[in-house]
Amino acid sequence: MSESRRLRFEGVTNFRDLGGYLTADGGSTRWGLVFRSDGLHQMTAPDLMAFGELGVSVVYDLRGDSERTQEPDPVESVHIALLSRHPTAAATSVREAQIAAETAADGERLLRDQYLGVLANSAALFGQIFTAMSRPEGLPAVIHCAGGKDRTGMAAALLLSLLAVDRDTVLDDYELSGTWRTVEHEQALVEVLMAAGIDYDVIVGFLGSPRWAMADALTALDLQHGGIETYLLGAGGMINSDLAKLRIALTTN
């Protein structure tokens, strides 16, 4: 099923349908309503024609301002830049940690820390996205970032968790990015990071899809934030009726 959920485009490699996953009540997530993707700026003219046939209502771009400016979306999108650290935190401390890292395992730990930061600082943004998706005009939707792995991966993991997809399946979905979005697809970013003094082995770890990193983040969701519902109803700012509408819209028995 992993191959069947991937939509083939010429320029975009990690565009996937979140439908067809079994839920705890014996149902499944609906096909053709939520897609996750890497950067849409990579789409070719034929890609854009195929994309248009999907009937997408809303595209959520989770990238930062500079990314969006340098490589703008080729279709209208809603810009919601996820935060992996507090806006007032010093960027130098993050860069120092990256430069001090030496191994691929160090890179994976940096990635895990980024996921924890997204959870801590972007709850209201996830709530905004999921609330909008609960509206009749909010679907079908595409959620994307640059590689479709980390920010998009966190959004997909939270959404699938909310829809009562089991944890192992959520992690399986996360790991699929390692199949279709590899270091070879990120050569420009690799060069930028190496020029900044970050070791290649660290970059390989950071650009991977280590199951344990997302697993740690979802464990933190449970232990520190009280689980997905408490997280979205609390810091996420959602209300119960919208959670219910989203589940009804995105699952079938």
Using 70 as the pLDDT threshold, list the residues of the chain that sit under it: 1-3, 85-102, 183-187, 190-191, 194, 197, 205
pLDDT of residue 88: 44
CB-neighbour burial class of residue 237 (10 A; exposed 0-12, middle 13-18, buried 19+): middle
Handedness of CA 192, 188, 84, 211 (dihedral sign): negative
Render 28-54 in DSSP notation, one character per residue: EEPTTSEEEES-GGG--HHHHHHHHTT
Q: DSSP class of residue 85?
A: S
Q: DSSP class of residue 142?
A: E
For 176-226, write each residue's pLDDT tens digit.
998 887 766 666 776 677 677 677 777 776 788 999 999 999 999 999 999
List, in order of start, the domains of the chain with CATH numbers.
Answer: 16-236 (3.90.190.10)
Handedness of CA 246, 247, 249, 251 (dihedral sign): positive
What are the distances in angstroms from CA 88 to CA 85, 92, 143, 210?
8, 12, 26, 29
Give the E-state strand segments of 115-230 in sequence order: 141-144
pLDDT of residue 185: 66
Residue 17 token pair: 């349908």
